[in-house]
Amino acid sequence: MDLRSLDNVDPEDIGSNPSTEPTVGELIDRRLGRRAALRGLAGVGALAALGNELMGSSALAQPAGPSSLTFEEVPHGLDKTHHVPAGYEAQVMIRWGDPVVAGAPAFDPANQTGAAQEKQFGYNCDFIGIHPLPAGSTTNDRFLMVVNHEYTAPGLMFSGLGSGRSVNHQVTEEQAKVEIAAHGGTVIEIARDGSGWKVVPDSKFARRITGTTPMTISGPAAGHDKLKTSADPTGRSVLGMLNNCAGGSTPWGTWLTCEENFNFYFGGSDVAKLPDAASYKRYGINKSAYAWSRYVDRFNIDKEPNEPNRFGWVVEIDPYDPAATPIKRTALGRFKHEGCTYTLAKDGRVVFYSGDDERFDYLYKFVTAKPWNRQDPAANRDLLDEGTLFVARFVDAGKVEWLPLVQGQGPLTAENGFATQADVVINARLAADQLKATPMDRPEDVETNPVNGRTYVMLTNNTRRTEQQVNFANPIARNAHGHVIEITPKDGDHAAAEGTWSIFIVGGKPGIDPAARYHRQTSDNGWLSCVDNCTFDSKGRIWIATDGAPTAAGIADGLYGADTAGYGRGLTRCFFQAPTGAEVCGPLITPDDGTVFLAIQHPGEDAGSTYDKPSTRWPDFKDNMPPRPSVIAITKKGGGTIGS
C-alpha cells in the first residue's frame, strides 16, 4: 500500500520499532563481506562475480544464459494507460462500482451512496484469489474470484474535494459511508469462453464484505478484556474488516484476507493518555487519515479505546457460502499483515507465512497444531485457532532461526506484560521485540515456490535508512528499491525451527544504483524497483509485482518474470506496465498457465491529481468517469502459455 493521498505520510514509513537488533541489511553486509561488496560495485556484471554468495547454490553451477521466458519485454515508461507484450491482450474484468450482487445499481460516480456501494465492486482492489467451481474440481474455465479492497482515496472518488491529505477529512457523512462500504472484499463468479473471461451476473455466490459486515473473533484473544467495547461487551464479535492488503488461501478452500494499515482509521484527542499508550505507539495509532471518527463512535478512541485492538488480524472467509460469517483468527497474531500464504510441513501440518509491512518490522510464520485432514473438511474448520506463531531472526552466517511467540517462554511472561497467550497475539509486535527478532526492510508478500520448496520474501524498501546504516545490500542512504530474500527450510520442512537464506535479487537500476543485483544479462527494461507481491507459475518461475517505482525510479509499476533455477535464474523481464499513479497488486496465474490476473490499484493517484482533473481516466477514458481501480486478465492472443 502506498497511500499517496496522504501526501508525504507513508503508512509503512512510520518506523515504530525501537529495536536495536541488527537490521537485515547489516546481516547481508556481514554475510557477503567486504571483498564481495567491492566486487559488487561492477554494476550490471556483478552477478557473475558474486555467484553463490549472492544468488544461492544453483546460480554459479549454471553459465550465464537466456531466460526461459521468451515474451518481448515491455519498455519501461510511465503514461496514462497499461502496456502488455506484443502478442498479448489485457481485458478489464471488473471495475470499482461495477455490480456485484443481484439488484446492484449501475455506477453513478456523481451520486454515490453507501447503500449502493455495499452492492458494488469496492475501491482499491489488491489481493486476488481463485477457487474452482465446482469446489474441489480441476477446472481452468470457472472459478470463484475473491478480491481485497484495501483503502479509499476521497480526492479521486468524489468531486470537488481537491488533492492532498486534508481532503480526507472534508468528506460528508454519506461519503464516509461510501468509503466504509468500499473497504473489505468481494466474491464474484468468473467463467472463460471463446471471447475471454467474464463475470457471471447475479451469481448465487456473489458477495460484498465491507467495513460493517458482522464478524466473529476466535482464537486466544477472543473474549479478552482488551477486545471488549460498549457495542460488544463479550469481545467476540466485530463489525467489518479494514485495509485488507494481500491475503492467501487454505488447503481446505477458504480465503484468508489480511488487515494491514488499520491504524489510520482511528481518531481521538490524546492517544498518549490512554492505558494502552505504549501498544498504540508501537502500532502507529496516532492520528486518523479519515473523517470516520466524526460520524461513527467506534472509530473514536476517546469513546471506544479498545476498538483498534479488534483490527490487524487475518480473516478467514468461506467463498462458497455467502451466508458464512467471516472469522478473525487471532492465533496468527496482530500486526500489519501484508498477506498470509500457506505451504505444508512434512507431517501434514500447515505453515502460513506473513510479513509485517512496515520499515524495520518482522517476518512471521504460523504452524498449525494439527495436520490438515484431506478426508474430513469439517475437521479443518478451526485449524487456525491452535498452533504456534513464530518470528524470524536472521543470523549473519546465512541461517534463519524461527523464535516461538509462546506465553511463558523466555521473556514472554506476566512480568513483561504477557500474562496470557491473548496478550502475546494482541501485542505480537511487542512480543517479537522481546525476542530480538530481526528488523526487516518492510516485508510484504511472502510466498513459497511450489516447485523448489523455497520461500521468497519481498522487501519493498527502507527509505528511513541513514548514512550510518548503509551496508552491502543497501549501500546508499534512503534505500529506495528493495530486495528479495530466498529461504530454504532445514531438511525441506517448513515447520523446522531454522533454515538458510540468501539473496535472490536486489532492486534498482544496474550501473546507476550501486546495490542493484540481477543476472548479468538483465536488459535495460528488465530491472525493477520496489518489489511488493509475487506469485509462481507451474514451472516455478517467479512473477514479481512492484509498488513505488514511479517515485523511486521514474518508471511505471509493473509485473516482472524470472526463472528461479537454471541459466536464467534472477534474470527479470518486464511483462506489464501499469497506468500512471497505479500500483500492480494480486498477481495470480491460472493452473494451466493461460491467464495472469492483476489488480490495478489507485490509478491516477499522482500529486495534484483529483476526481475532476485526474492524471488518467483509466480504464474507461470517459470525461464523466474518474480513474477506477480494476481487475484485469492478461492472455496470449490465440491462447497459449503465459511467458513462453
Q: DSSP for 566-595? A: STTBT--EEEEEPPTT-EEEEEEE-TTS-E
Closest residue by Cα to residue 50 from 406, 601, 529, 503 = 503
- How many helices (H) and strands (E) would you count in the chain? 12, 30
For 149: left if phi > 0, alpha if psi spans -120 to 50, otherwise beta; the answer is: beta
Across-strand partners of 343?
A: 351
Instruction: State the pLDDT at residue 274.
Output: 84
What local confidence, expressed as pLDDT, does residue 42 receive? 29
Among the listed residues 69, 55, 58, 2, the one whose alpha carbon sits nearest the alpha carbon of residue 589 = 69
Strands 88-95 and 630-636: antiparallel
Query: How far apart (Å, rounded) are the C-alpha atoms in residues 489 and 270?
Result: 45
Under 8 Å between Cβ of 378 and 384 = no
Q: Identify which of 365, 249, 375 has the alpha carbon closest to the alpha carbon of residue 317.
A: 249
Grid cell digits, residue 587:
498477481
Q: Contact 257/241 with Cβ under 8 angstroms?
A: yes
- Residues of the chain where predicted confidence (pLDDT) is lower than 70: 1-15, 19-65, 467-477
Strand partners, 387: 368
Which residues are CB-contacts of 40 (< 8 A; sequence separation ≥ 6)?
32, 46, 49, 50, 54, 472, 514, 515, 517
Which pLDDT value is given to residue 480? 85
In this structure, how many other beta carbons lie within 10 angstroms of the beta carbon of residue 54? 28
Taking the C-alpha atoms of residue 602 and residue 459, their distance in angstroms, rounded to an integer, is: 21
Q: Where do the structural domains in the chain lie, given as residue ranges?
A: 4-61+116-129+158-229+242-260+312-636
Asked if 463 and 482 touch (Cβ cutoff 8 Å), the reply is: no
| Residue that has been written with the C-alpha cell 461487551 in this structure | 233
Which is nearest to 529 in space by CA: 550, 511, 515, 512? 550
Q: Which residue has the cell 536464467?
A: 568
CA–CA distance, 214 with 256 (Å, rounded to integer): 16
Cell numbers of 642, please?
503465459
DSSP string, 179-202: HHHHSEEEEEEEEEETTEEEEPTT
The pTM assigned to this predicted structure is 0.93
Half-sphere exposure of 577 (CA within 13 A, CB side): 24
Closest C-alpha to 406, from 385, 426, 420, 392: 420
Q: How many angstroms separate the CA atoms of 520 and 542, rounded?
A: 18
Sole residue written with cell 512473477: 543
pLDDT at 22: 60
What does the block give as the cell for 243?
485495509
Rounded Cα distance between 456 and 542, Å, is 9
Helix (H) or strand (E) holding 423: helix 421-426
Grid coordinates given for 466: 541513514
Selection from 564, 566, 563, 553 nearest residue 527 by Cα: 553
Give the model confidence (pLDDT) of 481-512 as tens digits. Answer: 999 999 999 999 999 999 999 889 999 999 99
Return left, alpha or beta for 167; rule: phi > 0 is left, psi -120 to 50 is alpha, else beta.
alpha
Q: Give the per-residue pLDDT at 14.
A: 61
Whole-angstrom Cα distance, residue 328 to residue 436? 27
What contacts 57, CB < 8 A, 6 or more positions away?
Answer: none
